[in-house]
C-alpha cells in the first residue's frame, strides 16, 4: 500500500510551523483531562466515594502533566536510547524541537507529576496513578497516529496486504505499520479494557488495580509489536537479532503490573 499523502505539518504561519505530532500531544492532554474530569466527578466510582482530588483541579493538573511528559520523555530518550551522543553533546539534551522522546520516560514523568500534585492536595496517591492509567491510553492512541503521519517508527519488511511503503524508508519496501498496531493495542483496546474494569467491575474502588491492568496491557502490547517494529538505529537489537530496548523497558511494567493487581485484589473492596 502506498503511504497516504498526509503532510506532517498541520499548518504554518510565517516562519512558524505546527506539526500534527505537537497537536497530538496537546489533544491527548486536553481529551485526557476532560475524561479525567468525568471520572473524578463520578464519586461513586472511587473507594469511599473519594477521588484523589476534586474534579475541577484536573485542569490545573494538565499543566503539570505537560511538564512531566516533556521532561520525563526527553530524559528517558537521553538515558536509554542515545546516551553516548548526549554525553558528547550535552547542549543537545535541551533541543527537544529536534525530536527524541521516550514513552517510558514520559509516563514516569507523568506519574511523578501526578504524585506531587495529589500529595499537595492530600489525596490518595494510588488512586491518582489509577486516574492516569484511565486517561493515558487516549494520549497513546493519538501519539501513535502522529508517528504514522510522520512516517517514523515503522516496522520490518512484510508481504501482508496492509504493508505500507513509507516515504522516509530508504529501501522503499512494504513494511508493517507498527505505529497503527500500537495505536489499536496500547490505545483503543486498552482503553476499552480499562473502561470495563472501572465501570463494570468497579476497579477504581481497589486502588492500584487499574494501574496494574494498564501496566500489564501496555507492556504485553509493546513487547508483541516490537517483534515487527524496527529498533532505533543507534541501538539496534540488544540480543539475538530480536530483543529490543522497548521490550526490555516494557517487561518491568508487566511484572510491576502483576504485582499491583495481586496487591489490590487482596485488599477489601471498600465503599462508603
* Residues linked to residue 175 through DSSP beta bridges, in sequence order: 157, 164
User: What is the rounded CA–CA span in Å between residue 99 and residue 238?
Assistant: 23
User: What is the rounded CA–CA span in Å between residue 248 and residue 245?
Assistant: 5
Nearest to 207 by CA among 92, 151, 91, 124: 124
Count of helix runs (H) and strand runs (E) in the chain:
9, 2
User: What is the rounded CA–CA span in Å between residue 195 and residue 202?
Assistant: 10
What residues contact 144, with CB distance under 8 A and at least 6 apart?
A: 179, 180, 182, 183, 186, 187
User: What is the rounded CA–CA span in Å between residue 24 and residue 171?
Assistant: 28
Radius of gyration for the alpha carbons in the chain, expressed in angstroms and rounded = 19
Q: Which three cell numbers stand for residue 28?
A: 491527548
48 known member of a binding site? no
* Residues linked to residue 229 through DSSP beta bridges, in sequence order: 155
How many residues are listed for the chain in this entry? 272
Whether the CA torsion 82, 83, 86, 88 is positive or negative: it is negative
What residues contact 187, with CB distance under 8 A and at least 6 apart?
A: 137, 138, 140, 141, 142, 144
Pick out the residues of the known binding site.
Answer: 144
Amino acid at each position: 500500500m502506498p503511504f497516504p499523502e498526509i503532510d506532517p505539518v498541520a499548518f504554518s504561519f510565517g516562519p512558524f510551523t505546527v506539526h500534527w505530532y505537537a497537536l497530538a500531544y496537546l489533544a491527548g492532554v486536553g481529551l485526557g483531562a476532560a475524561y479525567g474530569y468525568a471520572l473524578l466527578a463520578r464519586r461513586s466510582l472511587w473507594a469511599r466515594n473519594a477521588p484523589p482530588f476534586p474534579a475541577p483541579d484536573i485542569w490545573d493538573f494538565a499543566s503539570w502533566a505537560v511538564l512531566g511528559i516533556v521532561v520525563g520523555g526527553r530524559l528517558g530518550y537521553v538515558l536509554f536510547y542515545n546516551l553516548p551522543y548526549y554525553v558528547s553533546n550535552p547542549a543537545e539534551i535541551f533541543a527537544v524541537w529536534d525530536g527524541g522522546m521516550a514513552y517510558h520516560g514520559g509516563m514516569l514523568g507523568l506519574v511523578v507529576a501526578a504524585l506531587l500534585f495529589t500529595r499537595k492536595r492530600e489525596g490518595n496517591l494510588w488512586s491518582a496513578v489509577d486516574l492516569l492509567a484511565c486517561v493515558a491510553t487516549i494520549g497513546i492512541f493519538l501519539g501513535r497516529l502522529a508517528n504514522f503521519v510522520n512516517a517514523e517508527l515503522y516496522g520490518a519488511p512484510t508481504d501482508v496486504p496492509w504493508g505500507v511503503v513509507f516515504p522516509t524508508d530508504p529501501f522503499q519496501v512494504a513494511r508493517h505499520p507498527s505505529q497503527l498496531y500500537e495505536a489499536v493495542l496500547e490505545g483503543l483496546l486498552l482503553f476499552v479494557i480499562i473502561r470495563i474494569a472501572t465501570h463494570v467491575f468497579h476497579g477504581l474502588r481497589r486502588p492500584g488495580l487499574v494501574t496494574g491492568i494498564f501496566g500489564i496491557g501496555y507492556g504485553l502490547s509493546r513487547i508483541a509489536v516490537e517483534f515487527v517494529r524496527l529498533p532505533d538505529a543507534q541501538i539496534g537489537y540488544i540480543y539475538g537479532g530480536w530483543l529490543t530496548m522497548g521490550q526490555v523497558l516494557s517487561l518491568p511494567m508487566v511484572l510491576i503490573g502483576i504485582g499491583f493487581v495481586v496487591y489490590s485484589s487482596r485488599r477489601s473492596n471498600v465503599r462508603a
